[in-house]
Amino acid sequence: MMVVPEVGMTEEVVVTRKGQTTVPVKLRRKYGISEGTRLEVVDTANGILLKKAKGTLELIGSGAGSASVDEMKNLLDDIRAEAD
């Protein structure tokens, strides 16, 4: 069962021929969306959800416990070797 959060502000936007649209200024300010902000587009049962993509700093530590320090060092060594 999916819980639908309370709906806040609703605004209508237009999609251009190229599939582009504009996020209303009130929502950009509320969610800290500025030029260059990357958004994730998520297909949900209730429609399309736009949300800020996590930046590099927000991802730090998110993989903790996925691999040991030695495994990570080996992976980095492999990536560096492929780059040469």
The pLDDT of residue 68 is 79
For 38-54, the pLDDT digits (tens) are 899 999 998 999 998 87
What's the pTM?
0.57
The pLDDT of residue 9 is 77
Task: Read off the pLDDT band of 70 (50, 70, 90).
Answer: confident
For residue 14 the two structure tokens come to 């237009």
**Residue 76, in any domain of the structure:** yes
How many domains would you assign to the chain?
Answer: 1
Q: Rounding to the nearest 10 degrees, give the CA dihedral for residues 61, 28, 49, 63.
A: 0
Question: How many angstroms separate the CA atoms of 70 and 34, rounded?
Answer: 39
DSSP 80: H
Q: Which domain holds residue 68?
A: 25-83
**Residue 29, in any domain of the structure:** yes
Task: Read off the pLDDT band of 73 (50, 70, 90).
Answer: confident
- Identity (one letter) of the amino acid at 12? E
Contact in structure between 27 and 9 (CB atoms under 8 Å):
yes
The pLDDT of residue 83 is 77
